[in-house]
């Protein structure tokens, strides 16, 4: 097997799928890329058994079709040292890979490709198509709110509720929750499944905010995403997702509208003075004024900041984890945000004000913390 390929083209392709690789694997073969040559097409696969990602690229010259498993780390590190240089790959029957470029030769010992796990074909699938922009926005707005509790695996992923008139992505870790809805996208049937965090992060890293169609197919156990020259296959999280609608308060008579960037800056400053284990800040809302207080009793640190706001409702004092609020505000993009409140011991609802896309509905929920007396 022999082929010539541009070092930069190959490097970009490998970097697109390399996030699938784990730092430690139970099967040594999973430290490799599976490289398959057919005609002028080079198909490269990375897998950790749960997630498998494949990229296809065209080579400049090809002789003798075949396949081999190539150690991933050394190949990527070597490619990083080259500019846009043609590389000649020659593989013999003893799995020795010779890479030649600019008068230099390198030898890497590959492995038997037959040992590399094969992606099972999806059977009895349903499918729909999303634009890259919609999927990327859904991932960005939700993935930060996923949990990491091994005892509640369902909450470690993003729940996808598909309907014939909309799609909804939901993530929660029991302290915060994000519900992202699009009415300009839909599926053929009503169905729900839970996407793991790792493949979503992979998609987040390589998707661009444009109209590229993403073909999504799924069954009860697996999902597949195909676009351009990328094919991503992943195993879904088993289990039932929590009833998120039940925890979203519907009667929130107290409404605060505030400049988003000013609120972020104020919260970040306040977090410097908050207790490092609780990140607790106190919001005191009265009239058209918002006071943000923080204190760390152990070190006798405290701060008080004032923000102008637009508030309707009863005067209120409520505590939140500043880190959670900042995470949510950073993942919104509007100039102003609305914080809807009902009582100091009930969740607050954060929404964007005057979003650009009327087909997009974002709701972010954050649980309060008990204030120190």
pLDDT at position 1 over 70 = yes
pLDDT band (50, 70, 90) for residue 373: low
Are 256 and 315 in contact by the 8 Å Cβ rule? The answer is no
Q: Regarding the domain delimited by 2-115, which CATH topology (the fold level of the hierarchy) does it fall under? A: DNA Polymerase III; Chain A, domain 2 (3.10.150)
pTM of the model: 0.91
| Start and end residues for every CATH 3.10.150.10 domain found in the chain | 2-115, 127-165+191-239, 248-366
pLDDT at position 120 over 80 = no
Interval 244-300: pLDDT, tens: 999 999 999 999 999 999 999 999 999 999 988 899 999 999 989 999 999 988 888
pLDDT at 149: 86
pLDDT band (50, 70, 90) for residue 224: very high
Interval 175-207: pLDDT, tens: 999 999 999 999 888 999 999 999 999 999 999
pLDDT at position 371 over 90 = no
pLDDT at 46: 97
Q: Regarding the domain delimited by 127-165+191-239, which CATH topology (the fold level of the hierarchy) does it fall under? A: DNA Polymerase III; Chain A, domain 2 (3.10.150)
Interval 339-356: pLDDT, tens: 999 999 999 999 999 876
Mean pLDDT of the chain: 93
- 221, two tokens: 């156990």
Q: What percent of the chain has pLDDT over 90?
A: 84
Q: SS3 string of the chain?
A: CEEEEEHHHHHHHHHHHHHHCCCCCCCHHHHEEEEEEECCEEEEEEECCCEEEEEEEECCEEECCEEEEEEHHHHHHHHHCCCCCEEEEEECCCCEEEEEECCEEEEEECECHHHCCCCCCCCCCEEEEEEHHHHHHHHHHHHHHCCCCCCCHHHHCEEEEECCCCEEEEEECCCEEEEEEECCCCCCCCEEEEECHHHHHHHHHHCCCCCCEEEEEECCCEEEEEECCEEEEEECECCCCCCHHHHCCCCCCEEEEEEHHHHHHHHHHHHHHCCCCCCEEEEEEECCEEEEEEEECCCCEEEEEEEECEEECCCEEEEEEHHHHHHHHHCCCCCEEEEEECCCCCCEEEEECCCCCCCEEEEEEECCECCCC
Interval 55-81: pLDDT, tens: 999 999 999 899 999 999 999 999 999
**How far are the Cα atoms of 3, 140, 336 from residue 262, in angstroms, in the given order?**
56, 22, 9
Q: Identify the residue with better confidence: 109 or 371.
A: 109
Looking at 3.10.150.10, 3.40.50.2000, 1.10.10.10, 3.40.50.720, the CATH number of the domain 248-366 comes to 3.10.150.10
Interval 293-351: pLDDT, tens: 999 888 889 999 999 999 999 999 999 999 999 999 999 999 999 999 999 999 999 99
Q: What residues are paired with 88 via a beta bridge?
A: 4, 100
């Amino acid at each position: 097997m022999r082929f010539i390929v541009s070092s930069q083209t190959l490097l970009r392709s490998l970097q697109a799928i390399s996030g699938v690789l784990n730092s430690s694997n139970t099967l040594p073969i999973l430290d490799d890329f599976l490289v398959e040559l057919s005609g002028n097409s080079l198909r490269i696969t990375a897998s950790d058994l749960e997630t498998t990602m494949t990229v296809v690229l065209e080579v400049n010259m090809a002789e003798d079709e075949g396949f081999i498993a190539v150690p991933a780390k050394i190949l990527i590190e070597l490619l990083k040292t080259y500019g846009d240089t043609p590389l000649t790959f020659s593989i013999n029957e003893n799995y020795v890979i010779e890479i030649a470029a600019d008068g230099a030769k390198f030898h890497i010992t590959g492995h038997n490709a037959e040992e590399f796990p094969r992606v099972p074909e999806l059977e009895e699938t349903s499918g729909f198509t999303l634009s890259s922009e919609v999927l990327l926005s859904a991932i960005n707005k939700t993935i930060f709110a996923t949990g990491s509790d091994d005892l509640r695996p369902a909450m470690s992923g993003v729940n996808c509720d598909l309907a014939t008139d909309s799609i909804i992505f939901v993530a929660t870790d029991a302290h915060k929750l994000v519900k992202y809805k699009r009415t300009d996208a839909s599926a053929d049937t009503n169905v729900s499944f839970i996407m793991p965090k790792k493949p979503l992060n992979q998609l987040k890293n390589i998707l661009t905010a444009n109209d590229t169609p993403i073909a999504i197919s799924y069954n009860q156990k697996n999902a597949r995403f195909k676009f351009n020259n990328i094919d991503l296959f992943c195993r879904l999280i088993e289990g039932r997702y929590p009833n998120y609608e039940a925890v979203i308060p519907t009667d929130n008579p107290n409404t605060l509208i505030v400049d988003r960037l000013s609120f972020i800056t104020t919260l970040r400053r306040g977090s410097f003075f908050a207790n490092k284990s609780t990140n607790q800040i106190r919001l005191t809302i009265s009239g058209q004024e918002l006071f943000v207080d923080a204190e760390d009793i152990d070190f006798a640190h405290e701060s008080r900041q004032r923000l102008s706001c637009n508030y309707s409702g009863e005067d209120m004092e409520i505590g939140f984890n500043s880190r959670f609020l900042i995470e949510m505000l950073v993942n919104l993009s509007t100039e102003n945000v609305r914080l809807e409140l009902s009582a100091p011991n009930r969740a607050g609802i954060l929404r964007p004000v005057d979003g650009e896309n009327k087909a997009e509905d974002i709701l972010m929920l954050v649980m309060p913390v008990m204030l120190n007396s």
